[in-house]
Each structure stands twice: as structure tokens, then as C-alpha cells.
């Protein structure tokens, strides 16, 4: 499944090219012996029938040995059912398993089930965030072959950009090295020092020869998170903002001459900013760095970067110091960072986990996520997606008190639900038996009415109602599940 007009794509294969001349041949050979080819069998869930899975598929990626295991991309192992690793110089593939994964930043750590197979493998060392115009070499495996390949280029951009796999913004490095399918999970080396600068992750179809890699700042945060035994994931402040490049708007917020910042527009419930920031607060600085009116901060000597750069190396539980202006008064706030949260329809698909749904009376209640939207051919902004779902695009968690968007995705025809098939699909569930629905768990909680009630009453958006006979629901439930093979 793909998103329509999706510019970024995840890499799973590569193009064989000649080795670059910058690194000495001996150094490059030693590094390359630590780069492996990963064979993946995966199986995704079928969101049109969320109790079933789609057919299995096979793909390949690259990875490389580090102290903690084998590092690769999250999209390589997403929904994987079987992994094998081909190690340079070894006659047979070795079975592997996922040790840790953070799909938010498209990174995964896997390990060999037979640790002795890694004997003698050199562990690749990490360098720092590269400089602009620094020469780099990307190492990976080609499509349809076993030979390792090398591509070279220069760092052309370092910024906060969306990750193709998660659709979440974070620090990425752009290079004009040809990151073709197959470089996924492979290392990107400094041409001058030989140190690893990051992990190749995605290309850009809108620009010839452009590619992106996850820099070591993000990699190190992931490895630190994984070492704790539980992936907390990345953090964010959890608010939307408005830039303040208009003089009159800055004056209306009582900003003084020389002050710059951004206006807090909305705050997501349960986010880092919830209960700390307020709408109309002006964020003047974060982590000691002045926020400009266009939402960027100083980066190195002569450039700027998105202000969320300060979060790239921070973890859930850390504290961020922010200077704000509230009603003309300066304040210093300590913001305790929480797990990433923003929109009712999550930005990131639900990888590695089954869909969340409830079946009752032949009605399929579903928590909407991106993969469900893709079943219509696009995302929440695509005109092929029902308007009733598009209306909730970009609405934050907490809007109307909602924690997620719950809809009836389909009706499994049965006598108890006769006549509802064309009336209720993809409409938000507002109430069940008079109780407001804020998440899918509420549906299960309120579906069973008191014994003295004959009917289950469901209120949908646009004042559409569904009335089901409670006794008939109980009687027909086993037959519905058998008929539609729901286990």
C-alpha cells in the first residue's frame, strides 16, 4: 500500500556502482566486511478485514555490525515474520530476530540467533554530525545480486524533515549520493575519516539523485533508549504554532522591539506542553536558543534549522527549558518531555501490531489510523478518502475531548443490522447507549446496556442513529463470527 503523491520512498534495494576513490581501498574493505544483507519475510494486516492478514512478501535491506548488534532501518523489519542475514565471507545465511525498533525514526536493532556467526566481524564506529559539503560514501547491496556497492556524494542539507516511514519530522541529512532502493539500513561513511555518519533511509523522487540518512545524533538517542529495555520513542512539545513575521501581530502579543518567537496555536491533550503552555504564549527561546519569527534557530555558524532540532538528542523524561512571553510578561518554564503525541488520526502507521477494532452486531468499530486511509487510495488529505474522515485531518488529540477517531468501518450483513449498510460507514461514533465515545475502549465499555434495556443505541455523526435489538445481537453473534471467519 502506498500514499498517493508520496514524494519520499523507503529504500529496500540498491544500484551497483564503482567504489569511490576518497577512502583508501584497504579501509573501505574493512568497513564493508561489517555490512550485511538482510532477507526479510513480512506480512501486513488487512485493514478492510482487520481480523485477517495480507499475503506475505519478501524484500532485502542492508545493515551493519555495531557494538549492540546489527543496525538497520525500521521499515526493513516492519511487520516481519522471518529474518535472515548474509554475512560477508560466510557460506550460509544466519537466522536473526528483532531486538529493538523505533519506527518513529526508522531505526531497528537486530541480533543473530547464533551469536558465534558474528565472530570476527568488525564493529563500525560512529562519528559526529557532518558538515555541509562534506564528502560521504554510502555502502549497501544491489538489486538481484550479492555484490556490495558504493555511492559517493556530498552533504547538501541538514534539517528537520519528515521521515518517509513514520511521516514524523525529525533531523535528517540530505546528500546527493545516489541512495537507490537497497541502501536501506546501510552505513554512510565520512570520505575523509571513515567514521559512520548515519544510516541510509530514504530517497526523494522529486530530486534526481537525492537521498537522506539518519544522523548519528538520532542513532545514539535510539541506542540509549533501546539499552533501557523499553523503547520510549522520541518526544515532541505537542503544540501547533503560528509564525510571527507580521509587525502588527507581534505588537498585539505585547512583544517588544528585538523580541522574536512563535505563537502557540493549539495544544494536544497529554502532550509535553499540556498544562504548561497556553494558547497565545509566545515561545521566545528553547534550550537557550533564540526562536526566530519564522520558527527557526541558529545552527552552527551561518545557517538556521527548525527549532525542534533541540529535541533530537533528548529522551522522554528529560526536561527542556523554555523562555516564553505570556500577556507581555516573560517567564522561564521547565517542560518535562513526554512521548510523542499530536493528532487524532496518528501521523505514523501502526507497525508490528494488529489493528484495533471491535465487532458487535455485525458492526465493525475501528480506531482510524493511516493504513486504513490508504485502503481508499490515499491519505487524510486525498479526495478519494471519504469526507467524513478528511474532516478530522490534522485535528489534535483532545479536540472535543477525543483521544482518537472511532468510526464504523463496515457492516457485516446480518438480520440484526438490516438496512444500515449504506447509512453508517466511516461515520464517527459519538455515543453508545448515551455515553460519549472518546476512544475505542469506550465502545467495548458501553456496548452492553443494563438488563432492563431492550435496545443498544448508537449515535453517529450527523445525528445518524443505529438501534439494535440487544437479545438478537447476543443470539446472532456466534453465527456472524463464523460466517465472516472472525476469530
Q: What is the value of pTM for the model shown?
A: 0.91
DSSP 121-170: PPPPPB--PPPTT-EEEEEE--TTS---EEEEEEEEEEEEEE-TTT--EE
pLDDT of residue 91: 87
Per-residue pLDDT tens over the stretch 371-427:
999 999 888 888 899 999 999 988 999 999 999 999 999 999 999 999 999 899 999
pLDDT of residue 146: 74
pLDDT of residue 145: 67
CATH number of 239-336: 2.30.42.10
pLDDT-derived band of residue 23, with 50, 70 and 90 as boundaries? low
106 is catalytic: yes
pLDDT-derived band of residue 85, with 50, 70 and 90 as boundaries? very high
pLDDT of residue 452: 73
User: Would the pLDDT of 3 be above 80?
Assistant: no
User: Would the pLDDT of 453 be above 90?
Assistant: no
Per-residue pLDDT tens over the stretch 118-128:
888 889 999 99
Identify whether the C-beta of residue 252 lies closer than 8 Å to the C-beta of residue 294: no
CA atoms of 292 and 284, how far apart (whole Å): 8
User: Would the pLDDT of 106 be above 80?
Assistant: yes
Single out the catalytic residue among 32, 59, 62, 106. Answer: 106
Q: Would the CA dihedral through 467, 471, 476, 477 be positive or negative?
A: positive
115 Cβ contact list (under 8 Å, min separation 6): none
Helix, strand, or coil here: 307?
A: helix
Mean of pLDDT values over 256-277: 97
Mean of pLDDT values over 247-270: 97
**Burial class of residue 286 in the structure, from the number of CB atoms within 10 Å of its CB (0-12 exposed, 13-18 middle, 19+ buried):** buried
User: Would the pLDDT of 260 be above 60?
Assistant: yes
Mean of pLDDT values over 30-50: 91
Mean of pLDDT values over 116-142: 90
Q: Dihedrals φ, ψ of 174, to 5°?
A: -100, 140
CA atoms of 134 and 142, how far apart (whole Å): 25
∠ at Cα 287 (282, 289), nearest 5°? 70
∠ at Cα 454 (448, 458), nearest 5°? 55
Residue 403 gets the label, from left (phi > 0), alpha (psi -120 to 50) or beta, of alpha
Per-residue pLDDT tens over the stretch 60-77:
999 999 999 999 999 999
pLDDT-derived band of residue 475, with 50, 70 and 90 as boundaries? very high
Average pLDDT, the chain: 90
pLDDT of residue 2: 43
pLDDT of residue 167: 93
Domain locations along the chain: 8-227, 239-336, 357-483
Identify whether the C-beta of residue 134 lies closer than 8 Å to the C-beta of residue 154: yes
Single out the catalytic residue among 12, 75, 149, 281. Answer: 75
pLDDT of residue 127: 94
Question: What percent of the chain lies above the pLDDT cut of 70?
Answer: 92
Q: Where are the beta strands (DSSP E) in 327-362?
A: 329-336, 357-360
User: Would the pLDDT of 28 be above 70?
Assistant: no
Single out the catalytic residue among 184, 272, 285, 295. Answer: 184
Beta bridge partners of 58: 41
User: Would the pLDDT of 272 be above 50?
Assistant: yes
pLDDT-derived band of residue 11, with 50, 70 and 90 as boundaries? very low
Q: Which CATH architecture has domain 8-227?
A: Beta Barrel (2.40)
Cell of 245: 513575521
Q: Which candidate, 28, 60, 41, places its Cα nearest to that of 145?
A: 60
398 Cβ contact list (under 8 Å, min separation 6): 267, 268, 269, 270, 274
75 is catalytic: yes
CATH number of 357-483: 3.20.190.20
pLDDT of residue 242: 98
pLDDT-derived band of residue 24, with 50, 70 and 90 as boundaries? low
Q: Which candidate, 190, 173, 207, 60, places its Cα nearest to that of 137?
A: 190
Per-residue pLDDT tens over the stretch 279-323:
999 999 999 999 999 999 999 888 999 999 999 999 999 999 999
Q: Where are the beta strands (DSSP E) in 205-288?
A: 211-215, 239-243, 262-267, 282-286
User: Would the pLDDT of 32 be above 50?
Assistant: yes
pLDDT of residue 447: 92
137 Cβ contact list (under 8 Å, min separation 6): 20, 22, 23, 28, 150, 151, 152, 177, 188, 189, 190, 191
User: Would the pLDDT of 342 be above 50?
Assistant: yes
Residue 362 gets the label, from left (phi > 0), alpha (psi -120 to 50) or beta, of left
User: Would the pLDDT of 15 be above 60?
Assistant: no
Identify whether the C-beta of residue 124 lies closer than 8 Å to the C-beta of residue 187: yes
Cell of 330: 516573560
> CA–CA distance from 91 to each of 35, 126, 414, 447 (Å)?
15, 28, 57, 58
CA atoms of 428 and 461, how far apart (whole Å): 5
CA atoms of 449 and 175, how far apart (whole Å): 59
pLDDT of residue 487: 81
Amino acid at each position: 500500500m502506498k500514499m498517493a503523491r508520496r514524494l519520499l520512498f523507503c529504500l529496500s534495494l540498491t544500484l551497483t556502482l564503482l567504489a569511490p576513490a576518497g577512502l583508501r581501498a584497504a579501509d573501505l574493505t574493512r568497513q564493508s566486511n561489517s555490512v550485511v544483507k538482510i532477507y526479510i519475510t513480512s506480512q501486513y494486516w488487512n485493514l478492510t478485514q482487520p481480523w485477517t492478514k495480507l499475503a506475505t512478501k519478501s524484500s532485502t535491506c542492508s545493515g551493519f555490525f555495531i557494538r549492540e548488534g546489527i543496525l538497520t532501518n525500521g521499515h526493513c523489519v516492519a511487520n516481519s515474520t522471518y529474518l535472515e542475514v548474509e554475512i560477508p565471507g560466510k557460506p550460509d545465511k544466519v537466522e536473526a530476530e528483532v531486538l529493538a525498533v523505533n519506527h518513529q525514526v526508522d531505526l531497528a536493532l537486530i541480533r543473530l540467533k547464533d551469536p558465534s556467526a558474528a565472530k570476527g566481524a568488525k564493529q563500525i564506529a560512529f562519528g559526529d554530525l557532518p558538515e555541509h559539503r562534506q564528502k560521504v560514501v554510502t555502502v549497501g547491496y544491489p538489486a538481484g545480486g550479492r555484490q556490495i556497492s558504493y555511492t559517493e556524494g556530498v552533504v547538501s542539507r541538514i534539517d528537520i524533515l519528515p521521515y518517509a516511514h513514520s511521516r514524523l519530522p525529525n533531523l535528517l541529512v540530505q546528500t546527493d549520493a545516489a541512495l537507490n532502493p537497497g541502501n536501506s539500513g546501510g552505513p554512510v561513511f565520512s570520505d575523509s575519516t571513515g567514521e559512520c555518519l548515519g544510516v541510509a533511509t530514504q530517497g526523494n523522487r522529486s530530486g534526481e539523485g537525492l537521498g537522506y540518512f539518519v544522523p548519528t545524533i538520532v542513532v545514539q538517542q535510539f541506542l540509549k533508549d533501546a539499552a533501557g529495555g523499553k523503547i520510549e520513542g522520541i518526544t515532541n512539545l505537542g503544540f501547533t504554532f503560528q509564525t510571527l513575521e507580521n509587525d502588527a501581530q507581534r505588537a498585539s502579543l505585547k512583544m517588544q522591539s528585538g523580541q522574536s518567537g512563535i505563537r502557540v496555536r493549539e495544544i494536544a491533550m497529554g502532550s509535553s506542553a499540556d498544562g504548561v503552555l497556553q494558547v497565545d504564549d509566545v515561545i521566545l527561546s528553547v534550550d537557550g536558543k533564540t526562536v526566530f519569527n519564522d520558527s527557526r534557530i541558529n545552527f552552527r555558524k551561518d545557517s538556521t534549522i527548525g527549532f525542534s532540532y533541540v529535541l533530537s538528542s533528548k529522551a522522554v523524561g528529560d526536561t527542556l527549558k523554555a523562555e516564553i512571553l505570556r500577556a507581555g510578561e516573560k517567564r522561564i518554564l521547565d517542560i518535562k518531555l513526554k512521548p510523542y503525541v499530536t493528532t487524532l488520526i496518528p501521523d505514523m502507521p501502526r507497525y508490528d501490531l494488529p489493528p484495533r477494532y471491535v465487532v458487535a452486531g455485525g458492526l465493525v468499530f475501528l480506531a482510524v489510523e493511516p493504513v486504513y486511509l490508504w485502503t481508499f487510495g490515499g491519505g487524510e488529505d486525498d479526495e478519494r478518502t471519504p469526507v467524513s474522515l478528511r474532516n478530522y485531518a490534522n485535528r489534535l488529540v483532545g479536540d472535543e475531548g477525543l483521544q482518537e477517531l472511532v468510526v464504523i468501518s463496515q457492516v457485516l450483513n446480518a438480520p440484526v443490522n438490516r438496512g444500515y449498510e449504506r447509512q453508517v460507514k466511516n461515520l464517527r461514533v459519538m455515543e453508545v447507549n448515551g455515553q460519549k465515545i472518546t476512544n475505542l475502549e469506550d465502545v467495548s465499555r458501553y456496548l452492553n446496556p443494563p438488563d432492563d434495556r431492550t435496545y443498544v443505541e448508537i449515535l453517529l455523526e450527523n445525528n445518524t442513529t443505529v438501534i439494535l435489538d440487544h437479545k438478537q445481537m447476543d443470539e446472532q453473534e456466534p453465527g456472524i463470527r463464523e460466517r465472516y471467519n472472525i476469530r
